[in-house]
Structure 1
């Protein structure tokens, strides 16, 4: 294996404008591939595709990042849409669920970020709170849409997340949904001060970690370094 593992990042599939063009585009914020490079990995983008291709794609990457993005379709966990839930993007939902399923079967290291953590929970049979302010009584997890804010997160000791982040940390936040019922086989591994689950992982030796915040938006690369090490066989 290369000394720099290849890390696949999922992407949006949206209408976008650049130069003279206004067309469908597969994109992700540039902080994501930079995040991989800063931690010693190589980045490749994995735009929504035929879910049947997920297994072949996972044979070609060493690690998988499920990036942030749009709200997941509540029908995936048997709920009706809340008035504040965004329009679903079924192509992306199906693709990322297939990638995650293949990664877990193959033992490919996974890091879920924001939407990616929520997708991990849904894949495991869990549910989401569709509008977090309804539950916690404040908008501190997303006070200014389109801008990252910061709040304190406390990792749980004796977990993979807690091993990578052994102390309470200020993290970049931008989400209005959160884990409700935890999926089977998952354990919560970090909390916000209001009790919101901020990280989860599968028990055992596999590297399959989800965080509700956006580590790629700040200077702390410890989570990505953990993924890179796992993707390198370490």
Structure 2
């Protein structure tokens, strides 16, 4: 059997290489592709495409989708006003929001297995009508456990909810995971259930309530660690769907 083709969303940002400085580039940290490969898939990078139906066409050619981490989701996407700690969206981040939301909706409509990572989980929640907490330290009394130092991944413990797909994949033991986020889920979107928490109660994973599908989001950054179980499960979901068809 050929290895499943797993698309991973990318973004546009200035980059420098060879003699070129601050040139627009379509980027993704290489750890995401490595995580897909460690799970048994082939990685296909998906740069933003504003053409009508582009997301539908791309997803139709994929076996699975990973929506990567990144900057804050524009608060207008969940009918909120940006707070003092929320990043002000620019044209590139707005285009990324639109592209990744379109990818998520296409994957949901076409029943393509989906894994959201950090921002990807937050966008999945927003796509399904949920909202976000814009600055966790305000909610947690100033705690910076989830993003302790700018530009450096922290670590904290998460625990999966027994009986969920997340627990089936990762077990219910406490897991020490790489983390970097100052926002989190507030109201959970329609058709999602919380499937993991941090010790302070922060939502750390959500999944679909439809047990016949693979739709899962995690708030931490598995690509920054050495645990490929999430992408293995994504690839396994693709194989299971192929057997059913």
The TM-score with structure 2 as length reference comes to 0.93
Paired with 2:106 and 2:240, the residues of 1 have a C-alpha distance of: 18
Structure 2: any 5+ residue segments left out of the alignment?
none
Quote how far apart the aligned CAs of 1:233 are. 2.9
Quote how far apart the aligned CAs of 1:120 are. 0.5
**1:12 maps onto 2:6 in alignment:** no
What residue number does 1:49 align with? 49
Residue 191 (structure 1) aligned to one of 184, 187, 197: 197
Paired with 1:126 and 1:228, the residues of 2 have a C-alpha distance of: 27
**1:214 maps onto 2:218 in alignment:** no
Q: How does 1:94-173 map to 2 (within 5 A)?
A: 94-137=98-141, 138-166=143-171, 167-173=173-179
Structure 1: any 5+ residue segments left out of the alignment?
none
- SS where residue 133 of structure 1 aligns? helix
Paired with 2:166 and 2:19, the residues of 1 have a C-alpha distance of: 44
Conserved in 2, the CA contact under 8 Å of 1:62 and 1:232? no
Deviations 1:113-132 (A, max 9, x none): 00000001100101000111
- SS where residue 29 of structure 2 aligns? coil
Paired with 2:15 and 2:71, the residues of 1 have a C-alpha distance of: 15
Paired with 1:217 and 1:33, the residues of 2 have a C-alpha distance of: 11
What residue number does 2:76 align with? 75
Paired with 2:31 and 2:145, the residues of 1 have a C-alpha distance of: 23
Conserved in 1, the CA contact under 8 Å of 2:82 and 2:88? no
Figure out how many residues of one structure are paired with residues of the other and give that number. 233
**1:224 maps onto 2:225 in alignment:** no
Paired with 1:200 and 1:44, the residues of 2 have a C-alpha distance of: 24
Paired with 1:12 and 1:174, the residues of 2 have a C-alpha distance of: 18
Quote how far apart the aligned CAs of 1:148 are. 1.0
Paired with 2:17 and 2:74, the residues of 1 have a C-alpha distance of: 28
Conserved in 2, the CA contact under 8 Å of 1:4 and 1:232? no
Paired with 1:232 and 1:49, the residues of 2 have a C-alpha distance of: 28
Q: Name segments (4+ residues, structure 1) moved above 4 Å.
A: none
**1:25 maps onto 2:25 in alignment:** yes
Paired with 1:34 and 1:58, the residues of 2 have a C-alpha distance of: 20
Q: CA RMSD in A?
A: 1.0
Paired with 2:203 and 2:123, the residues of 1 have a C-alpha distance of: 14
